[in-house]
Amino acid sequence: MQKLSGLDAMFLYLETQKTPMHIAGLSVCQPPEGYDGDAYEDFKAQIASRLHEIPAFHRILRPTPFEIDHPVWINADEVDMDYHIQRAHLPKPGRLEQLRLLIQRLHSQVLDRSRPLWQFHIIEGLEDEDFNLKPGTFALYTKSHHACVDGGAGISVMDIISDREPTPRPPLPKSQIRLSSQEPGFFEMLGSAYGRMLQQQVDLVAALPKISSAFSNVVRSFGGENSWSLKDLAPAPKTRFNTRIEQQRAYGAQTLSLPEVIAVAKAAGATINDVVLSICGGALRLYLARHNELPEKSLIAGVPVSLRELGDTSTNNQVAGILCAIGTDIDDPVERLKAVQAAAKRGKAQIGSVREVIPQDYNIFGAPAVLTIMSQLADRTSLIERMPAFLNVAISNVPGPRRPMYFAGSKVVGYFPVSIAAHGCALNITLHSYVDRLDFGLMACKKTVPDVQDIADDIVGEFRRLQAAVEGATAAKGAATTKKKAASPNGKTKAPRKAPAKRKPRTTKTTRGNGQTTQPGG
């Protein structure tokens, strides 16, 4: 038995038919030359052989008695592979646009909570000459509930089910993986719930010194250049993204060259995240301007920050977040990048001052019932639209593998994220780095942002604007520096200094302390 943390359980409580709370990935795969097998059957067999290596894929939910505490995970008696791994086929001609429409439909469907909370879809018939997708190319859509995994944990799962070489590795022996099959009893779960609530109060008392220290850090730095200020308490401007959403989804995708993004970030003295936030801000500026909805104040992005330690491969959620202005009020791409860089630096400093006391777990008596009712209230009323907005859009960068992945011998040529839209945040922009690519996936409420692909395309356009501006500024600066070094104060080039001539040994006389003189060596 493993009880969900408060953060994990929150994704269960937030879920309704209108707000599915699963995250997903979309991999575009190309079989090797001469492949004549069945991609679906080959992939299904590979996952079946490795399923024991992913404990999260064996677990199902059990509520605590009277729902006084968060649910627990128990191991399922069996995993129905025909349900969890399904097959789809695009109608001819099998273009990427058709794939996007299918992903929109699949992502709108909630997962069955009576089963382990994951599902894979092999999508065949993908062929698009415009994107160099050859016949036989297929897509793999993998979704898991956010209560099971976060973005970082999802990458770890992909590392297990994929290979680093075209030849699949043998699965780990089942004897190395321990899965408990014992289901907890009524009184065991009830006692665990009360015991955990009591333990959390003890932990809170023990954490008081850290909480006090974090509060002191905030107070001391309040109003500082890179820390808390009254501006941080101001609400974000209301936009079409701050609305109650419907069940249908719209999906957009685009790709940038990772080496090019790194080069721009380096030349501008910024980070990859700074560049990403800046070009997303530029794209949203264009989008809202086209709809005559651009506010004077900058939009605010909610940016997840991983709290996962290096090497931690557990699948629970370990994440916090910062709020960052993304410069939608600035047209110049370089000036926007500078503004975003300063805002991101301030956000990182803010979360750094309280990082040690950010709660990843909480217990509230009756939390499942109370928080689910609150979610239903947001689902059925316009309450979210009457409340002040603290953010407009979610933007997340999930580091992915820097080496190629293979599924049953087929090479992954693109790896796009598919994330979550929610009430009050109808647009989510997530990106994965993969080998030398940055793959963007934009998920939105279809009613609110039906043309989400336009934003994805504008992200690429805004990057090109920023790239040209940074390269132009760098070239101009380099030319000015070269000209300055080449000219002396009188306008002439300085001649190189000659090396001093070799000197002969000295033969001068020296004087002793008694006033007599001697030759050297005398």
CA 40 to chain centre: 28
Token pair recorded at residue 461: 């356009």
Which of 3, 132, 128, 113 is CA-nearest to residue 60? 113
Residue type at 451? D
Token pair recorded at residue 460: 């690429």
Whole-number CA gyration radius for the chain: 30
Distance of alpha carbon 29 from alpha carbon 35, whole angstroms: 13
Contacting residues for 248 by C-beta, under 8 A, at least 6 apart: 104, 108, 445, 446, 447
* Three-state DSSP state, 270: coil
User: How many other CB atoms are there within 10 angstroms of residue 259's CB atom?
Assistant: 11
Distance of alpha carbon 410 from alpha carbon 29, whole angstroms: 6
* Three-state DSSP state, 456: helix
- CB of 321 closer than 8 Å to CB of 302: yes
Helical ranges in 361-489 per DSSP H: 367-380, 383-386, 452-486
478 backbone dihedrals φ, ψ, rounded to 5°: -65, -40
**Which one is catalytic: 22, 70, 146, 423?**
146
146 is catalytic: yes
Distance of alpha carbon 456 from alpha carbon 438, whole angstroms: 12
CA angle 298/303/305 to nearest 5° reads: 150
Handedness of CA 344, 348, 351, 353 (dihedral sign): negative
Contacting residues for 110 by C-beta, under 8 A, at least 6 apart: 15, 17, 20, 22
Helical ranges in 66-207 per DSSP H: 81-84, 96-107, 151-161, 186-206
Token pair recorded at residue 47: 């996952």
- CB of 239 closer than 8 Å to CB of 295: yes
Helix axes 333-354, 452-486, angle to 10 degrees: 100
**Residue 352: its H or E element:** helix 333-354
* Three-state DSSP state, 457: helix
Handedness of CA 404, 405, 408, 411 (dihedral sign): negative
**Residue 55: its H or E element:** none
Catalytic residues: 146
